[in-house]
Structure 1
Amino acid sequence: MSAATELTPPPPAPTASEALRPRAQVMIDAWLALDRDVAALSNGSGRPLARTVKLILEPLVIRPVQNPGLAGGALSADAAGQLHARILAAGPDLAATAAWFLRVKTVRRRLRVTEGNPQEKYFSRCFELARTVGMPGVDAEDRAVEVVTEIAQASGDSLLGRIRELLRDAHEVTRLEALLHERWAERTPPRALAPASEVIAAMLDTCPTGHADAAFEALRISDAGSAAASTLGDEGTARLLGLTAHASPPVPLIGSTASKRGLPRPFDRSIFERLFAALSGGAPVESDLDGDELLAEEIDRSALPWELADEHSRIMMLLGREVTGALDASGPAATTAAHRQLASRWNREAYVRRALRLPAEVSGVPASVLDDIHDVRQAYLRRLWVRMHGRELRGQVLGADDVWDTLDGVLRSVVMDQRQRLKIAMGRGMPAPALPGVA
């Protein structure tokens, strides 16, 4: 049991001649010894904020009910020493709490959550994260988003909360369903010609060096991204790309519920699930659109090529579809710089080489990760679509200089996700089978 939670016995009553120390001053002295590590929980003079004392130190560190000897307004030298030591012992937890609070505040701003005092809302949750997780790590953003979203939804003070409220209105849902079917009935196949393969190759050959402006502009002017979507309605095409589980993309539902752990493939998501995935994922929506306008905008987007609204986003889907051929062991040769660099990143992953070299039953790689390794194009394109969709909601227009960072970043994200899933599987005691030829 840590020093922050163990019980302390009541100290002996002080003698008449024993000097007593003000409890508040003991706490301040101990806090100042923690220095800058707890700055986010301190005031301008470096002392603990009133809410830090009220919400963290008293109930979670000192625990005066369990430790009555530390509860008085004036403490004996022995009790003062115990209190001082107790706060110092909690230093790592308090430093991690401060770090989590900074992360959570940043996400709160991005999600445009404004109601309530952030210290009141998040201090105890940040301490909980500090005790269970430690300092923020690679998944800190996702954890911070979960905290902010959960608390915001519980109090109904977020944009997502307002959207949920709209979807509880039967008349509003009926209006949105009519708009949805109207937009899908108006869908027409893209009229642009299929993009020239040499322009795509030039784009993928120059984007890693940052000299792709001319090729990117040629693709944009020719509506190449839209043209590349012309076959997505053909039976099986979008399914092969991992964007739907159906033979062809279905008309989405309006929906009213969603779970981050059970989201369907991009084209199979309801209108609400699409917004939920972006808004609960930390995407800062900078537009002035309110809930009903965001719903209408998402309905419009769902009926467009690649189910994306911006031609730049559609070009990225085209480029992603082309470049992921290099990640397939049986695919075409890596002909451009982008092909070669992505293939190199993918093939130097030890778990990928292991999964591709050994039979599934002896590779030690979980089945779900094996599926994503063998169908990496699908995992990649799903993540790329989500990233493009999020950028559109945030109003971030993608340019030529962003292309390589996006293509490479999506693969890094896929790799990190698979590594994490492997780590979790190993942590749960997944058996490591004996390998042929290995002692």
Structure 2
Amino acid sequence: MTAQTVPRARVLAEAWRELGDGVAPLSNAAGLPLARTTKLVLDPLVVRPVQRAHLGRALLDAPAARDLRELVLAAGDDLRAAAAWFVLMKQERRARGITTGNPQDLYFQRAYELAHRHGYPGQDAATVAGTEVDDVHDDDRVTAADLKEYLTTPTVADAVRRVIDEAWEQRVPAPAAEPGAGPGPGERVTALLEVCAVDGRAELAALVAAQDGAAAGARLHTPGAARALGMSEHATPRPPQVGAHASKSALPAPFDRSVLERLFGAIAALQVDGSASLHEVVTTEARRSAAPWQLSEEADRVVMTAGAAAGLLDGGTDAARRLEGRWRREAFVRQALRLPDGSGPADGVREAFLRRLWVRLQGRELRGAPLAADGVWDLLDGAMRSVVLDRRDRLKAGLARTGANRSAPNRSAPNPRGSTPQPHPAQGGVA
């Protein structure tokens, strides 16, 4: 970060706090916008970075920071009204005994639309909110439960299995090394990583044109390659299962996830409205599993290839130095020599970073959101920030457990063999 730039997250946080207590229903305990508030309301409905690309970057120059702050403050009345509508919609949800779906996912954008149409809730607000809740839950939108029921239908599971097998049989092998004396894929990736935090559009285009992402993804079928990056637990990636069970808290490595596990977390947000659309989503995902990097778009494969290089945190390129700087400046990294589970603070960071990056890219493909020409750095930086926050929380939880174990009196009964009971080790894991 230079003296002329400021983190986008800081600008949003400061502007949000200026909005006051009226947006509390859309805020977290620290008074900052919830992650879903940013994802579902601020970015798509207020800031609109697709139309204002200069406001979507992780680091903003002074004019962009000023524009972002003014946009958020100008939307203050709508945001406060949306917060009030959201509270009313939750009340109507409880009155109807509805328990399906996450209220924030389902109602945040609806609440903002109500704020635009009606302003702050008036005398008939309960009726309006109830009608809106009925509309949300009376439509034919496919839920995660619907997806599971669909995929566990024997005829459907057999059909999806055939699509997977056919796609994997048609996989294209990794290409041979390029002849000639021109820049090779390694040089092109390095060129992108040197400039992507500023622009990098020409470098991205060169990598896409050369199909370097597809080539790198195909090479992951070399024994041990995908496992070394944390993308699979197997020596070589295997065709995915159709799937019968899924849990957000226990997802395997990206390439080892079933079709159900790849879709169930995002299906509600995709607004799939029937079995025909669901068939298309499932079939597309089954075929995507056989593509290089298990991604359909070449630009996304290039980002994964660049992420694998930058995620080494070796300071070899500008992007790697910036990512390493984000990691190293965290207080817990500087202070914690070993985590309570015995691992080092940087253990598994590259693998966790690549998994987060893949999930973001796969999610964009599910939503049909193309990669912005200047969006490479924001994806890389966002994935690293996600890992940092997860590691910080994990360390705090581990230290709290360790402290509790040390301070608790030993009330266990004497061991008849005279041995000393061993404390249960603090559990850890890589995100």
Q: TM-score range by the shorter chain?
A: 0.5 to 0.7
1:200 counterpart letter in structure 2: V
Pair 1:394–1:300, CA change in 2 (3 A): same
Structure 1: distance between partners of 2:256 and 2:241: 9
Structure 2: distance between partners of 1:239 and 1:225: 18
Corresponding residue of 2:320? 339
Corresponding residue of 2:295? 308
Corresponding residue of 1:23? none
Question: Which residue of the other structure, out of 189, 193, 211, is the alignment partner of 1:200?
Answer: 189
Question: Which residue of the other structure, out of 135, 150, 168, is the alignment partner of 1:184?
Answer: 168
Question: Which residue of the other structure, out of 202, 215, 218, is the alignment partner of 1:227?
Answer: 215
Corresponding residue of 1:3? none
Decide whether the 8 Å contact of 2:292 with 2:301 is kept in 1: yes
Structure 1: distance between partners of 2:107 and 2:400: 31
Residue correspondence of structure 1 range 104-143 to structure 2 within 5 A? 104-106=106-108
Corresponding residue of 1:262? 250
Pair 1:121–1:177, CA change in 2 (3 A): farther
Corresponding residue of 1:163? 147
Decide whether the 8 Å contact of 1:166 with 1:292 is kept in 2: no
- Residue 400 of structure 1, CA deviation: 2.9
**Alignment gaps of 5+ in structure 1:** 1-34, 60-99, 111-116, 124-150, 327-331, 435-439
1:261 counterpart letter in structure 2: S
Structure 2: distance between partners of 1:314 and 1:51: 40
Structure 2: distance between partners of 1:200 and 1:217: 11
Residue correspondence of structure 1 range 232-251 to structure 2 within 5 A? 232-251=220-239
2:232 counterpart letter in structure 1: T
* Residue 367 in structure 1 maps to residue 367 in structure 2: no
1:120-178 CA-partner distances (Å, limit 9, x unpaired): 6999xxxxxxxxxxxxxxxxxxxxxxxxxxx97xx995343432232232111111112
**Rg larger in 1 or in 2?**
1
Corresponding residue of 2:355? 382
Pair 1:246–1:414, CA change in 2 (3 A): same
Structure 1: distance between partners of 2:257 and 2:360: 15
- Residue 268 of structure 1, CA deviation: 0.5
Structure 1: distance between partners of 2:88 and 2:161: 50
SS of the residue corresponding to residue 231 of structure 1 reads helix
Indicate the RMSD between aligned Cα atoms, in angstroms: 4.0
2:305 counterpart letter in structure 1: L
Pair 1:203–1:289, CA change in 2 (3 A): farther
* Residue 350 in structure 1 maps to residue 338 in structure 2: no
Structure 1: distance between partners of 2:334 and 2:301: 32
1:356-381 CA-partner distances (Å, limit 9, x unpaired): xx3x3xxxx3428x467212110100
- Residue 256 of structure 1, CA deviation: 2.2
* More off after superposition, 229-238 vs 292-301: 229-238
* Residue 414 in structure 1 maps to residue 387 in structure 2: yes
Q: Which runs of 4+ in 1 moved over 4 A?
A: 35-43, 48-56, 100-104, 107-110, 117-123, 192-195, 282-289, 426-429, 431-434
Corresponding residue of 1:401? 374
Decide whether the 8 Å contact of 2:327 with 2:333 is kept in 1: yes
Question: Which residue of the other structure, out of 277, 288, 292, is the alignment partner of 2:265?
Answer: 277
Corresponding residue of 2:281? 294
1:6-40 CA-partner distances (Å, limit 9, x unpaired): xxxxxxxxxxxxxxxxxxxxxxxxxxxxx999855
Structure 2: distance between partners of 1:341 and 1:287: 44
* More off after superposition, 227-236 vs 191-200: 191-200
Corresponding residue of 1:135? none
Corresponding residue of 2:58? none
Structure 1: distance between partners of 2:168 and 2:254: 17
Decide whether the 8 Å contact of 1:180 with 1:300 is kept in 2: yes
Aligned residues: 304
Decide whether the 8 Å contact of 2:142 with 2:272 is kept in 1: no
Corresponding residue of 1:81? none
Structure 2: distance between partners of 1:168 and 1:288: 14
- Residue 262 of structure 1, CA deviation: 0.7
TM-score (norm 2): 0.61
1:247-296 CA-partner distances (Å, limit 9, x unpaired): 1111110012201111111000001110113336x567799971111111
Decide whether the 8 Å contact of 2:92 with 2:129 is kept in 1: no
